[in-house]
Amino acid sequence: MHMADALLSPAVGGTMWAATAATTVYCSAKVRQSLDDRKVPLMGVLAAFIFAAQMINFTIPGTGSSGHLGGGLILAILLGPYAAFLAIASVLTVQALFFADGGLLALGCNIFHMGTIPCFFAYPLIYKKIVGDHPSRARLLTGSLLGAVIGLQLGAFGVVMESTLSGISELPFSSFVMLMQPIHLAIGIVEGFVTAGIVSFIWQARPEIIEKAAADQPIGTLSIGKILIGLAAATVFTGGILSWYASEHPDGLEWSMFKVSGQEELKDTDGLHQSLKNVQGQTAFLPDYNFKGSKEGDSGRLGTSTAGLVGGFTVLLLAFAIGLILKKRGSAGHDHAHDHSHPHHH
């Protein structure tokens, strides 16, 4: 899921943006150095491919719900981590601007979850390690599944961390985790299968593409630091899974979660609240840590007073009026010579 501006504080958003900007500069330099000028058009059209592919839904066998491709891992396999990062970052940028997916501040976070994590964690540390230089069907599937699942878990965890640290949402850390991780486990499994499926398809049809891509990125260049990060990530993930198992599964919550990933209606509100309280109490993961901004301290500072609301609404009405007046003036004032040609379908 995409992070949203509305849930971010400037500090958290800004930090993630700084990290993403630095990664973008680094990857751009790497791609430029690579001397393979075929990467330029390939990055562009593969990004377009992922963009279009994300909009094609298919029914997941056995469940009836629909799934689609995220694309981070598959781009990393085909392009290598640096070019893949730039490709994904570009897709997310277009989506943020045209589809309002999350927002511009959150773009830094989203690129981190869906770009940095698949390209620099999941791909080199999991997929490549499993698949190696000579792919086989089984290793492809294992590598893709683990890579996708772990990558998505880390990404979902990132969303939770960012929201909690920003403090705009009231969701306590543990509840948020319990909500996000299982959904993303499912999404990760789907992504893993789809990635493996497509890569196998290509491998059968045109094996030289996969073999060349595999040869381009030898594994021997990893540093200790990266391996440590990988271990830490795996620990976090395992801790999440264990805490999930440790808590009872309130059936109402699980069912709601799956329904929610497709639709927005929430059933059984009181039951849900009660279940969340149970989960909150029983979870073993970081039990004493309470990230929530302390409400007790806040009660004195009331950001909203009656006078403030009246003033606010007055300005709102004013704004609306100004907007309307300007528009009316503009359209009366000059010709509308629209000579836009429409897309030609041949």
Q: Within positions 78 to 97, which residues make up the interface with another protein, using CB under 8 A?
A: 86-87, 89-91, 93-94, 96-97
Would you say 155 or 230 has its CB closer to another protein? 155
Nearer to another protein, 105 or 125 (CB): 105
| The binder of another protein chosen from 168, 183, 189, 236 (CB under 8 A) | 168
Among 231, 232, 286, 315, binds another protein (CB under 8 A): 315
Q: What is the CA radius of gyration of the chain?
A: 23
Contact (Cβ atoms closer than 8 angstroms) between residue 214 and residue 131: yes
Write the interaction track for another protein spanning residues 34-73; mark x where CB under 8 A is met and - where it is not: -x-xx-xxxxxxxxxx-xxx-xxxxxxx----x-xx----
Judged by CB, which is closer to another protein: 46, or 117? 46
Does position 215 interact with another protein (CB under 8 A)? The reply is no
DSSP state of 105: T
Q: Is 314 among the residues that bind another protein (CB under 8 A)? A: yes
3-state SS assignment for residue 297? helix
Phi-psi domain of 71 (left: phi exceeds 0; alpha: psi -120 through 50; beta: other)? left
What angle, 0 to 180 degrees and rounded to 10, lies between the N-to-C axes of helices 207-216 and 173-205?
A: 120
**How crowded is the C-beta side of 5, counted as CA atoms within 13 Å?**
9
- State the Cα–Cα distance between residues 249 and 243, nearest whole angstrom: 11
Can you read off the two tokens belonging to residue 187? 């999404």
In whole angstroms, the minimum distance from the beta carbon of 234 to another protein comes to 27
Q: Does the footprint of another protein cover residue 194 (CB under 8 A)?
A: yes
Q: Which stretch binds another protein (CB under 8 A): 145-153, 203-211, 226-234, 244-252?
A: 203-211
Binders in 321-340 for another protein, by CB under 8 A: 322-327, 330-331, 340
Annotate each residue in 98-117 with x if it binds another protein (CB under 8 A) or - if it does not, as one string.
xxxxxxxx------------
Report the residue from 15, 142, 167, 222 that binds another protein according to the rule CB under 8 A.
167
Angle, vertex CA 70, rays to CA 67 and CA 73, nearest 5: 130
On whether the CB atoms of residues 80 and 120 are closer than 8 A, the answer is: no
